[in-house]
Amino acid sequence: MAKGRVIVGGDHRGVDLKAKIVPWLRELGYEVEDIGTNTVEPAVDYPLYAFRVGEAVASGRAERGILICHSGNGIAIAANKVPGVRAAICMSVEHAEMARRHNDANVLVLGQDYIAPGSERAIVETWLTSLFDGGRHARRVNQIADYESKHAR
């Protein structure tokens, strides 16, 4: 039985890291959907992958999502346009833990070129296993969701 369903995507600048993460997730017991890209050709646009991952998470088709690109910035901005998505750029284990504990982040964003070599797996595992603290943090996450629902187009 799988631990949960994770959807993974990224642009051409995240291909190398995605190629490592997908097998790690399967090794850890997660059901993984890899939506690409699998090419380093720069003709790919990151918003497409951000929206597809975000929509899968927001709809419940996947419990969590992981997005990878060069810096993480653009793909995080795009993913956060999907109502219900809380995408967080995590560059360290501490970021990953806090993104889950305090923000209930449901999409992990990694900037392939900005993460310390060798820390990738620990960041992903920490993000997957850290639990949301709830309490005052739930109140804050709910304020974001309320704003989003009132102002979504």
- Catalytic positions, please? 69, 102
CA–CA dist 43, 18 (Å, integer): 18
Helix, strand, coil shares of the chain, percent, nearest 5, are 45, 15, 35
Secondary structure in 3-state letters for 45-75:
CHHHHHHHHHHHHHHCCCCEEEEEECCCHHH
- On whether the CB atoms of residues 93 and 60 are closer than 8 A, the answer is no
Structure tokens at 77: 């901005």
